[in-house]
Structure 1
Amino acid sequence: MKLFGDGMVKIEIDKRAYNSIQNFSRLIYTNAVVNKEDLPDKEDIITLTYKGKFVAKAIYSPKSVIIKVLTTKDEEINKEFFYNRIKKANDYRTKILNFKDTYRMIYAEADGLPTIILDKYNEIGAMQVSSKVMERYLDIIVECLEEFGLETIYVKRGKKGDKIKERVYGDKSKFETIIEEGYENQKPAKFKVNVKGHKTGFFLDQRNNRLDLRDYIKEGDRVLDICCYTGGFSVHAALEGAEVVGVDISNKAIEVAEENMELNGIPKDKYEFIVGDAFAVMEEMIEDGEKFDVVILDPPAFTTTKKNLKNALRAYSTLNYLGIKLAKRILVTCSCSHHVDRETFRKTVVSSAYRAKKELRQIGGYRTQSPDHIITMANKNLEYLKCLFFHINEQ
């Protein structure tokens, strides 16, 4: 059954865009449209054609220069379509990646569901939607999700400015749960997740990097966790016997970080959390002559646009300079700014090390987001998280 009669408007694309779609890209630009005058004046699903023949159905928004491919089959966008996409996405996480209770279940165009992100925390789902087109399918999408063990689904707008009505499906009183993460040889870390919190409630993308950190923590280490949020890295470090100092500008996040320490049985004399500006706190620590065996830098995105790239790189440079000055043995440094590519980020960190007059040895290769945050070969835009581990080689 066809629900909305989508794809009625036919838009001709050029050869370059056609080849791009044939090579698995799921994003094309509006400058590839031949008959721009036929583009709808509001967000809708359109049919893309090349030389008059069907190529794909896609989501178009007049506010964006990007057209997002929904399907390369001439099929109806109905409950069966969404169920099949969701099942394939979930099967990949559970049968290929072997995730069990908590994972990113849907990651936008990587799963053929552009403008939708869904994180699963046990039986609770936190969904971000950034398209009015997808919003009108929400009822049937939720019906499909209920078949995969989700009892409650919180729907949020993807970003500020999105005109998406936030709502709750299922049990409206269920918004908090306890998740666990850890490799088989590790004591699992427990975290309280409240899906009413920031974005989808927790940063699942750093899961593997948090677990890898534990290999480099020694009993009695002093660990500084900058932009600690609800204590993801802090808890894992403490479970390995470290004394942790966490810093975050959000008082609410710090309160949850303290609860997470208690949840994991960490004694109160083994951690301290500071509410404050990361730059100011670190500068004060340097003035006081403080040192830490391990320093973790996991700031929010310093830019979401190319226009502010220079300012973002300056911020990363300063943050890493301060972190390197404070670190005695290990630096873990991250960037989730999409417009800062991995090599630019690495060069920025290395430049900061020269300023701090310390030598860095990179431990392993480039780390990125957890594999449930899929990066496809033709859609590199899906990769945003960069994480580097360094050894500080004191001369």
Structure 2
Amino acid sequence: MTHSLVDQALARRSTLGSSNSTTAFRIADSIGDGMPGIELDQLGPHILASVRNRELEERVKAITDHLQSAIYLKILDPSEKTSPCHLSGPPVEEPFVVQENGVHFEMSFQSGYSQGIFLDQRDNRQKLRSVLEEGQTLLNTFAYTGAFSVFGALAGATTTTIDLSQPYLDWSKRNFQLNDIDVETQYFCKGDTFHWLKRFAKQGRRFDAIVLDPPTFSRDKNGKVFRVEKDYPRLVELASGCLAPGGTILACTNCRQIDEQGFKRQIRSAFRRPVHLESAPMPSDFTAPPYLKSVWIR
């Protein structure tokens, strides 16, 4: 019975699973696939199992022991910030490459809490590629390993990638290089997104598309706290000051304390004029109740 649950989940994702152009996707999504508390992600030839507590470790072993893959286990507790542990199969001690809609990304099980890209943003990245045109500009804030930037550059845009972490900016550059994009033609900014948005506004720099996907909670080097529940309108307002006429903002949050309508109210409160908001659903392989709110602002 346990094996059949995984096999049924895989069958529901047969289109993704048989595609050579996408090798990173969610195999099983907790209660959405009849496995409460367990998430299974296909990452190239390997599998990452994520659970809320270690008591589910034996159940993970039971449902995956027939899969011919290296399997790693992650405890879903951001306060821990630890790398996944090896559970079964051959250990994977070096970074490896996955594909998403034909785009290559470096992944790693030794990188801490996150492994390289957030799979729930796959459809948004693909849509961004279709929104941008040759010669346009993209600003990717809170960029992590720059996945949105890579898709933007492949659309022909000049990208600016912002992150607090130099190691993540270096990782972003490797992702560009994996896709034969010259990093010298793109821009990388280390530091606080709020600082850079204010600086760009003063410089008169404008972008055709801006991606906002902040952590739910963060603290800058001066100790100033950002919380999605109260500070998102300020972020959108600053971003709108850097948006070119006719431009697009993708605003996202995975904060579970805010529903979609509340998130849209936050966004509208940042503008003095009416704006068109378009909600984007999560990818089809995420079958549990949705947590990611994505709104395209035009």
- TM-score, L = length of structure 1: 0.67
> 2:13: which partner in 1?
93
> 2:51: which partner in 1?
129
Percent of residue pairs bearing the same amino acid type? 25
Counterpart CA distance in 2 for 1:311 and 1:230 is 22
> 1:275: which partner in 2?
190
How big is the shift at 1:91?
1.0
Which runs of 5 or more structure 1 residues have no equivalent in the other structure?
1-80, 183-187, 304-309, 376-381
CA deviations 1:286-342 (Å, max 9, x no partner) are 222221111111112249xxxxxx953322111111111111111111111112111
CA deviations 1:88-132 (Å, max 9, x no partner) are 111111158866632111211111111211211121111212233
SS in 2 for 1:360: coil
Counterpart CA distance in 2 for 1:268 and 1:317 is 32
8 Å CA contact retained: 2:72, 2:84: no
How big is the shift at 1:160?
4.6
Counterpart CA distance in 2 for 1:369 and 1:270 is 32
> 1:374: which partner in 2?
287
Letter in 2 for 1:136: E
CA deviations 1:349-374 (Å, max 9, x no partner) are 111122xxx54223xx4103211111
How big is the shift at 1:208?
0.6
8 Å CA contact retained: 1:97, 1:371: no
8 Å CA contact retained: 1:238, 1:270: no
Number of residues of Structure 1 aligned to a counterpart in Structure 2: 285
8 Å CA contact retained: 2:145, 2:169: yes
How big is the shift at 1:251?
2.2
CA gap of 1:367–1:94, structure 2 versus 1, over 3 A, is same
> 1:103: which partner in 2?
25
Q: Does 1:141 align with 2:59?
A: no
Which runs of 5 or more structure 2 residues have no equivalent in the other structure?
219-225
SS in 2 for 1:332: strand
Aligned-pair RMSD on alpha carbons? 2.5
How big is the shift at 1:230?
0.9
CA gap of 1:96–1:215, structure 2 versus 1, over 3 A, is closer
Question: Which of the two has higher C-alpha Rg?
Answer: 1
Counterpart CA distance in 2 for 1:226 and 1:247 is 5
> 2:212: which partner in 1?
297
8 Å CA contact retained: 1:129, 1:164: no
Residue of 254, 257, 275 corresponding to 1:336: 254
Identify which of structures 1 and 2 has the higher relative contact order when contacts are C-alpha pairs closer than 8 Å and 6+ apart: 2
8 Å CA contact retained: 1:132, 1:164: no
Q: Does 1:312 align with 2:225?
A: no
> 1:324: which partner in 2?
240
How big is the shift at 1:173?
3.4
Q: Does 1:172 align with 2:91?
A: yes
